[in-house]
C-alpha cells in the first residue's frame, strides 16, 4: 500500500506535538484537527537554508505559518544544494521522528523528497490542504457537540483541549491561505526569461550556463528545454558565447 501524504498547512504543523512513537511501528503524530499522520506533503516558500555537519535545516512558509524541516546529508535526491537559494517555491514530503535528546513530544520533520516548483503548484497545494483541513473541522465540530465520535478525533480534542474557538481559528487559517490565490497571469515566455536573466546578470564575460539554469529552474523549466532555446537564440543572433560555457547578449 502506498503511503498517504497529508497536505498540511504549516500553522497546524507548528502546533502539532502529539507524537506516537511505539517500538516496531512507524512513527506518527496526531494533529490538532484529529488526523493520524505518518507522512506530510508541503508546498511553500523556502525562506532559509542552514547547512550543518549532520544535516541541513530548511525553513518553509505558507500564508498561515512556517516550520523547519531536516535534510539528511545524503538525501533526498533530485536537487543541487546550490539551487536552494531563498526565496524559492519548493514542494516536499516529510515524515515525523522523535527529536534526539528531546522529551517524548519533541518532533523533527525529516524530508524524504524535495523539488523546486512554481507558484501555480503552491496554489494547487493550498486548495488541497485547505479542503482537507475543512473536512476535518466538520468531524471535530460534530464530535465536540456530542458524546460520540471518532476515538482518534476525541483523543486529539483531549490532548489539545479543543474548543469551538479553536475550530474557528483553524477555519480562518484555511480562508487566509485561500485568499492568496489569484487568477493566473500570462504564461511565461521561456526565451524572454532567458534573455532577461542574461541581461540582468551579465558580467564582463556574460553569464555562465549554470547560473541561467538556476534562474529557469525557479520557474520550473526543464533543463533540456532551456538548452534547446539557448541554441535557437544563438542561431537567431540574439546571444553569443564569448567563452566556453558563457552567454552574452549581442
Question: Predicted confidence band at 78 (pLDDT cuts at 50, 70, 90)?
Answer: low
For the chain, give the mean pLDDT.
Answer: 86
Residue 36 and residue 19 share a domain: yes
Sequence-distant (≥ 6) Cβ neighbours of residue 163 within 8 angstroms: 144
Residue 155 and residue 68 share a domain: yes
From the list 62, 59, 56, the residue with the least C-alpha distance to 76 is 56
Q: What is the pLDDT of residue 76?
A: 63
Q: With a cut of 50, say whether residue 104 has pLDDT above it.
A: no
Total residues found in the chain within this entry: 250
Residue 34 and residue 80 share a domain: yes
Residue 177 and residue 94 share a domain: yes
Find how far residue 132's CA is from the centre of its chain.
Answer: 16
Of 184, 207, 234, the domain-final residue: 184
State the CB neighbour count (10 A cutoff) for residue 100.
Answer: 8
Summarised one tens digit per residue, pLDDT across range 81-100 is: 777 888 889 999 999 998 76
Residue 135 and residue 42 share a domain: yes
CA dihedral 32, 36, 41, 45 (to 10 degrees): 20
Of 230 and 25, more confident: 230
Task: Give, in order, the Cα–Cα distances in Å from 232 to each of 38, 201, 214.
Answer: 47, 20, 19
Residue 219 and residue 132 share a domain: no
Instruction: Check if the beta carbon of residue 47 is closer than 8 Å to that of residue 86.
Output: yes
Taking the alpha carbons of 109, 112, 117, 122 in that order, is the dihedral positive or negative?
negative
Phi, psi of 21 (to 5 degrees): -130, 80
Residues 130-158 have a mean pLDDT of: 85
Residue 151 and residue 75 share a domain: yes
Residues 223-239 have a mean pLDDT of: 89
Sequence-distant (≥ 6) Cβ neighbours of residue 52 within 8 angstroms: none
Residues 13-23 have a mean pLDDT of: 89
User: Which residue range forms the structural domain that includes residue 118?
Assistant: 1-184
pTM: 0.73
Q: With a cut of 90, say whether residue 128 has pLDDT above it.
A: yes
Q: What is the pLDDT of residue 77?
A: 62
Q: With a cut of 60, say whether residue 171 has pLDDT above it.
A: yes
* Start-to-end C-alpha separation, the chain: 56
Residue 145 and residue 27 share a domain: yes
Share of the chain above pLDDT 90, in %: 44
Q: With a cut of 80, say whether residue 186 has pLDDT above it.
A: no
Residue 108 and residue 15 share a domain: yes
Of 184, 212, 231, the domain-final residue: 184
Q: With a cut of 90, say whether residue 178 has pLDDT above it.
A: yes
Residues 62-69 have a mean pLDDT of: 94
Residue 171 and residue 77 share a domain: yes
* Total domains, the chain: 2
Q: With a cut of 50, say whether residue 2 has pLDDT above it.
A: no
Domain CATH for 49: 2.40.50.140
Task: Give, in order, the Cα–Cα distances in Å from 240 to each of 20, 72, 228, 231.
Answer: 59, 40, 14, 9
Residue 177 and residue 122 share a domain: yes
C-alpha cell at 200: 540582468
Residue 164 and residue 127 share a domain: yes
Domain CATH for 244: 1.10.10.10
Q: What is the pLDDT of residue 79?
A: 66
Which segment of 11-20, 26-35, 138-147, 199-208 scores lowest on mean pLDDT?
Answer: 138-147
Amino acid at each position: 500500500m502506498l503511503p498517504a501524504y497529508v497536505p498540511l498547512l504549516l500553522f497546524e504543523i507548528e502546533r502539532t506535538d502529539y507524537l506516537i512513537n511505539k517500538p516496531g511501528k512507524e512513527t506518527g503524530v496526531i494533529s490538532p484537527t484529529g488526523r493520524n499522520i505518518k507522512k506530510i506533503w508541503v508546498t511553500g516558500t523556502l525562506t532559509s537554508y542552514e547547512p550543518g555537519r549532520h544535516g541541513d535545516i530548511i525553513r518553509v512558509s505558507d500564508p498561515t505559518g512556517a516550520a523547519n524541516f531536516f535534510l539528511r546529508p545524503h538525501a533526498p535526491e533530485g536537487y543541487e544544494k546550490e539551487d536552494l537559494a531563498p526565496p524559492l517555491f519548493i514542494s516536499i514530503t516529510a515524515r515525523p521522528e522523535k527529536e534526539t535528546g528531546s522529551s517524548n513530544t519533541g518532533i523533527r520533520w525529516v524530508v524524504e523528497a524535495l523539488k523546486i516548483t512554481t507558484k501555480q503548484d503552491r496554489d494547487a497545494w493550498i486548495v488541497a490542504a485547505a479542503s482537507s483541513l475543512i473536512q476535518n473541522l466538520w468531524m471535530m465540530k460534530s464530535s465536540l457537540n456530542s458524546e460520540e465520535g471518532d476515538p482518534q478525533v476525541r483523543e486529539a480534542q483531549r490532548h489539545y483541549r479543543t474548543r469551538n474557538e479553536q475550530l474557528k481559528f483553524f477555519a480562518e487559517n484555511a480562508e487566509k491561505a485561500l485568499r492568496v490565490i489569484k487568477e493566473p497571469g500570462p504564461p511565461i515566455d521561456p526565451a524572454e526569461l532567458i534573455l532577461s536573466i542574461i541581461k540582468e546578470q551579465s558580467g564582463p564575460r556574460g553569464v555562465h550556463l549554470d547560473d541561467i539554469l538556476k534562474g529557469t529552474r525557479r520557474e520550473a523549466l526543464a533543463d533540456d528545454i532551456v538548452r534547446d532555446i539557448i541554441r535557437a537564440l544563438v542561431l537567431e543572433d540574439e546571444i553569443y558565447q564569448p567563452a566556453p560555457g558563457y552567454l552574452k547578449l549581442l
